[in-house]
Amino acid sequence: MNALPLVLTVFVACVVEAVEALTIVLAVGITREWRSTFQGMAAALVALAVITAAVGPAISYLPLTALRLVVGAVLAVFGLQWLRKAVLRASGYKALHDEASAYLREVTAAKVAAGGSRRGVSDWYSFTLSFKGVLLEGLEVVFIVITFGDNAHDIGVAALGAASAVIVVVLTGIVVKAPLTKVPENWMKFAVGVMLTSFGTFWGAEGAGARWPEGDAALLVLVPVIALVAAGCVWWLRSRKARQAAAASAPASEVISS
């Protein structure tokens, strides 16, 4: 697998996760207390480092065929979930993800939450919320890095893409001191869903014994095909929604005309 597609795929996927983690950290830190928030974030990063050190080498010892079958299936399911949400949002059947609204919800919850110190942490609420947010989003980053890097036999390049994404998001958050509401997260999730589904299908089929024509070059066909199918679903759902809206408004218009 070429290094550039690997870096770009991991980068875009990890940007989405990093933005969501940053939203939680900023909301809690600004509203409550930065020290406990940073402690929770640091504890989550340590936990992620331990998980990565334990899981990463273990995966590399698995047979490549079995690894690609399992990882391909998981990636395909994971990607289809992202793609399904992105398609529903793009077609109007699901509300668009709004980082500003998510930030306000976190701020409101942080303001009314009870305080209290515990185990050397002055604000346990800030600690736990920051820890959970960074850990959960970080686990997805670790999963993406390990699966993509191990299948491509280049963990270093995958890690570079993830690290670049996290650094860009964190530095941008520090500069603007606000949630990254301008990031086109919904379209990024659409793109990531296409990429994860494509790679999951590709590796899963290889793990099942299939051989793709031209090897990795088959991805150059598979990715656009899945993107076109997803775009077709968006168009069909938008058309369906428009027809439903027209049908619902038809009786009212007939009453007015009569």
Confidence of residue 258 (pLDDT cuts 50, 70, 90): very low
Higher pLDDT, 30 or 44: 44
Largest CA distance in the chain: 76
Average confidence score pLDDT of the chain:
79
pTM above 0.95, yes or no: no
Q: What is the DSSP letter of 113?
A: S
Task: Indicate the DSSP class of residue 97.
Answer: P
pLDDT band for position 226 (cuts 50, 70, 90): very high
The rounded distance, in Å, linking the Cα atoms of 175 and 181 is 14
Higher pLDDT, 86 or 116: 86
Region of 104 please: left (phi>0), alpha (psi -120 to 50) or beta. Answer: alpha
Residue 63 burial (CB count, 10 A): 9
The DSSP result for 139-187, as a single string, is HHHHHHHHHHHHHTT-HHHHHHHHHHHHHHHHHHHHHH-S--TTS-HHH
Q: Please, which contacts does 46-51 make with residues 24 or more away whose CB atoms are closer than 8 Å?
A: 47/135, 48/134, 48/135, 48/138, 48/139, 48/142, 51/139, 51/142
Average pLDDT over residues 60-69: 72
pLDDT at residue 44 tops 60: yes
Query: Averaged over 54-63, what is the pLDDT?
Result: 70
